Amino acid sequence: MPGIHNDKNAQMALVTGAASGLGFELALLLAKDGYSLILVDVNAEKLQEAQNEIEALYPTQIQILHKDLSQQNVAEEIFQALDGKNVNVLINNAGFGIYGSFNDTDWERDLAMLNLHVITTTHLTKLILKGMVARGSGMILNMSSLAAFQPGPLMSLYYASKAYILSFSEAIANELKGTGVTVTALCPGQTRTCFQEVVSNGAKASENRINFNIACPKEVAEYGYEAMKKGKVVAIPGNFNKFLSKLPRFVPRRTATAIIRKIQEKNRDQ
């Protein structure tokens, strides 16, 4: 596999799930700030379109890597493609959701999501973090979710995996104090991206039964990007989402879980 070539003096950012949605919006913000980019996504066609669009707006160097981040050892493949180049910003954004009873969902699809959210995110962070710590600088943004704050019936593994990302991010952020490296967990609520289309049994986001409090991806990306630059550990965009994240502290956990199930049934069933 050929290495990634870039200006040695340029700051480099790596973004997974960069072909659309929040990943694309974050890549635009990085390009605007002068970063050279490594964009990774499973959708080769959209990835090329994203590169073309960003290059038309900003004079930045972009390398695209067509990778399925749900596969084993893909983090190592990406790291090897860096060919020793420094990554100053890592954004672990790639992800997807699965709707349905755990008893009924397809295990191969479950496993792919867990590999993506847990294994690849953790492994890529570990590989790139060592260089950041050695240099005494770096920023990592991990895409968690409002789902991380409570159990989620009918999306059990998605909610659990996002809780893992949040816990993992908070823990290593604490470990990294004083190193010059920061870790931020971005925890958005519903956001108008293709994620909604995948989860809702193929329905478009605009067809979801519950359309209240669905955020614009550009605004969520800007909020998360600024939080990352400030070194904030947990970033929850929107006052209503901040309220929802705290709700499980004030109502019985069983009640919170039951409420989430009702919301999922109304929002997802078509």
The residues annotated as belonging to the active site are 158, 162
Distances (CA, A) of 191 to 62, 86, 243, 259: 26, 31, 17, 20
For residues 58 and 35, give the distance between their C-alpha atoms in angstroms, rounded to a whole number: 10
Query: Which tokens in the block code for residue 8?
Result: 């040695």
Name the residue with tokens 């990085």: 30
Distances (CA, A) of 100 to 157, 199, 201: 10, 9, 9
CA nearest 173: which of 200, 142, 201?
A: 142
Where does residue 233 rank: exposed (0-12), middle (13-18), buried (19+ CB within 10 A)?
middle
